[in-house]
């Protein structure tokens, strides 16, 4: 069998490591074989590729002054100043409601390709007596596959068959944003600014370098040439970085006019309304997402969360059981199932579900939340000592849990330990200034 055909077959079957090995064998005998070189680039890229739209980190601070629109935005025009909802929902330390659903911008996996975009630097190599245009294609077994410092970017930018795979290799595999951006700039100039794909890639480089306004210009220019779902979503994320949620909503609605019932855009719009604490339109779009994609776990979980916080635990239990039947097993899911069973009076299942949640909980913060919820189970059973023990275990996992300090203070007050209750109320108020319960309770104790 022809080795190149074998490598193509392995690539189509997503066996990227074996495909790269076969391409390496071809390049040992024919170092300037562009087909094998390009295929190996694509295999190495796909092996480490992550969806950077879903993994993009949304920064809280304004790194550049020209990105800050207003220091005091009007009410309803900023996510940071969104009006609170009528239902009481616990928040994280960053102010985001706890939902059990991992969202873009809420976490960044350390060591991922996106993390390397901010730290990687091109490796410098010593010069060799080879023409500049072909030196980068020579690779050694012990050395890097592509010697980035020797790349003739101007030459590869004019080759439409190699420029795009090379950009993805530099951007995703090497994390070299500087050279990837230079390649995108020269390729855009070579195609006379008529290729929308290069404008989107240039916008990605600007986002990685935190040049938000330049990225916005590139994305809007790309949308004028060609309507694509990725361009709409990336432009929406840009406006979120600028804290302009109303502009982001307008972009999503414009995208829905061109791509009706598109799951990605409707999900983005539902997240936007949820960040603005407008639960009714958020749930409306999540329901539309479920109609189009019945296996969308995020939409099902968010609808269940909406019913739970609107005093409908039986309805929420139906949605969370649907997620469980789809094969999802996590500590957060079993914790939510336990809470739904607790408030719907299905007490025979509550303890086993919380036990399962504790077995699956790896993150100390998640384990702390499970112990905190178990304290409510103990209170419903009337066992105050067990509730105190659960709250102490919660604080052993997360020593900054302000609600646990407040509830622990209330229990100690019921047991007659007034001074200890005051100390716990003071700690809770210091840990979370936005939590009004410890302040009110402390004022009550001081007035007595």
**Alpha carbon distance 260, 29 (integer Å):** 51
Average model confidence (pLDDT) across the chain: 82
Least confident of 78-87, 136-145, 363-372: 136-145
Q: Quick: pLDDT tens for 137-161.
A: 444 455 577 777 788 888 888 988 8
Rounded (10°) angle between helices 279-292 and 263-275? 160
Residue 248: predicted pLDDT: 94
Nearest alpha carbon to residue 160 among 196, 186, 187, 193: 187
**Alpha carbon distance 79, 434 (integer Å):** 17
Residue 283: predicted pLDDT: 94
Q: Record the tokens describing residue 344, joined without a space.
A: 């719907």
In the chain, the N- to C-terminal Cα span, in Å, equals: 89
Rounded (10°) angle between helices 245-258 and 263-275? 160
**Alpha carbon distance 79, 324 (integer Å):** 32
Residue 127: predicted pLDDT: 30
Residue 136: predicted pLDDT: 45
Unique residue bearing structure tokens 């391409």 = 23
Question: Mean per-residue pLDDT for 85-108?
Answer: 51
Q: Quick: pLDDT tens for 278-305.
A: 999 999 999 999 999 999 999 999 999 9
Residue pair 227/254 in contact by the 8 Å Cβ criterion? no
**Alpha carbon distance 200, 180 (integer Å):** 13
Question: Mean per-residue pLDDT for 321-340?
Answer: 92
Question: Mean per-residue pLDDT for 37-64?
Answer: 74
Residue 70: predicted pLDDT: 54
DSSP one-letter code for 71:
S
Q: Is pLDDT above 90 for 29?
A: no
Residue 232: predicted pLDDT: 95
Q: Is pLDDT above 80 for 133?
A: no
The SS3 of residue 91 is: strand
Residue 371: predicted pLDDT: 93
Q: Which residue has the higher pLDDT, 363 or 123?
A: 363
Residue 107: predicted pLDDT: 47
Averaging pLDDT over each range in 86-90, 113-117, 120-124, which range is the top one?
86-90
Q: Is pLDDT above 70 for 62?
A: no
For 303, residues 6+ apart whose C-beta sits below 8 A from its C-beta are 283, 286, 287, 290, 319
**Alpha carbon distance 73, 145 (integer Å):** 50
Fold (CATH) for 372-448: 1.25.40
Nearest alpha carbon to residue 91 among 106, 74, 76, 104: 106
Q: Quick: pLDDT tens for 190-245.
A: 999 999 999 999 999 999 898 999 999 999 999 999 999 999 999 999 999 999 99
Question: Mean per-residue pLDDT for 92-107?
Answer: 51
Q: Are 296-360 and 372-448 the same fold in CATH?
A: yes
Residue 91: predicted pLDDT: 57
Band (pLDDT 50/70/90 cuts) for residue 433 is confident
**Alpha carbon distance 394, 366 (integer Å):** 10
Question: Mean per-residue pLDDT for 6-13?
Answer: 94
Instruction: Tell me the sheet residues that pair with 91.
Output: 97
Residue 16: predicted pLDDT: 93
For a pLDDT cut of 70, what percent of the chain falls above it? 80
**Residue ranges of the domains in the chain?**
296-360, 372-448
Which of the following CATH numbers is that of domain 296-360: 1.25.40.10, 3.30.70.330, 3.40.50.300, 3.30.70.250? 1.25.40.10
Q: Is pLDDT above 70 for 277?
A: yes
Least confident of 23-32, 94-103, 271-280, 377-386: 94-103
Q: Which residue has the higher pLDDT, 73 or 252?
A: 252
Q: How far is CA 353 from CA 298, 335, 374, in A?
A: 21, 7, 11
Q: Which residue has the higher pLDDT, 426 or 86?
A: 426
């Amino acid at each position: 069998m022809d080795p190149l055909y074998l490598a193509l077959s392995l690539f189509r079957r997503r066996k990227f490591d074996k495909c790269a090995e076969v391409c390496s064998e071809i390049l040992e005998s024919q170092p300037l074989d562009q087909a094998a070189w390009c295929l190996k680039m694509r295999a190495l890229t796909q092996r480490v590729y992550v969806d950077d739209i879903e993994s993009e980190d949304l920064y809280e601070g304004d790194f550049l002054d020209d990105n800050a629109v207003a220091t005091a935005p009007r009410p309803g025009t900023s996510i940071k100043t969104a009006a609170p909802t009528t239902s009481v929902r616990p928040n994280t330390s960053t102010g985001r409601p706890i939902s059990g659903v991992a969202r873009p911008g809420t976490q960044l996996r350390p060591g991922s390709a996106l993390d390397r975009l901010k730290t990687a630097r091109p490796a410098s190599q010593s010069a060799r007596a080879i023409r500049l245009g072909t030196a980068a294609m020579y690779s050694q077994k012990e050395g890097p596959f592509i010697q980035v410092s020797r790349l003739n970017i101007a030459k590869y930018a004019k080759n439409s068959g190699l420029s795009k795979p090379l950009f993805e290799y530099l951007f995703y595999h090497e994390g070299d944003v500087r050279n990837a951006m230079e390649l995108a700039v020269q390729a855009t100039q070579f195609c006379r600014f008529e290729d929308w794909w290069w404008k989107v890639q240039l916008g990605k480089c600007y986002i990685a370098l935190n040049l938000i306004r330049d990225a916005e210009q590139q994305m809007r220019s790309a949308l004028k040439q060609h309507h694509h779902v990725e361009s709409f979503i990336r432009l929406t994320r840009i406006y979120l970085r600028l804290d302009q949620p109303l502009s982001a909503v307008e972009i999503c609605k414009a995208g829905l006019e061109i791509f009706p019932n598109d799951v990605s855009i409707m999900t983005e719009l539902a997240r936007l309304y949820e960040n603005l604490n407008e639960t009714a339109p958020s749930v409306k779009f999540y329901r539309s997402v479920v109609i189009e994609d019945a296996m969308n776990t995020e939409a099902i979980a968010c609808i269940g969360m909406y019913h739970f916080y609107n005093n409908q635990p039986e309805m929420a239990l139906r949605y969370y059981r649907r997620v469980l039947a789809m094969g999802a097993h996590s500590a957060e899911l079993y914790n939510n199932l336990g809470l739904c069973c607790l408030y719907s009076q299905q007490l025979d299942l509550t303890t086993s579900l919380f036990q399962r949640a504790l077995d699956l909980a790896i993150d100390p913060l998640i384990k702390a939340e499970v112990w905190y919820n178990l304290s409510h189970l103990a209170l419903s059973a009337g066992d105050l000592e067990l509730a105190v023990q659960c709250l102490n275990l919660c604080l052993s996992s997360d020593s900054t849990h302000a609600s646990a300090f407040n509830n622990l203070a209330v229990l100690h007050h019921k047991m007659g330990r007034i001074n200890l209750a005051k100390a716990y109320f003071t700690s809770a108020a210091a840990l979370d200034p936005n939590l009004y319960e410890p302040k009110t309770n402390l004022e009550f104790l001081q007035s007595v």
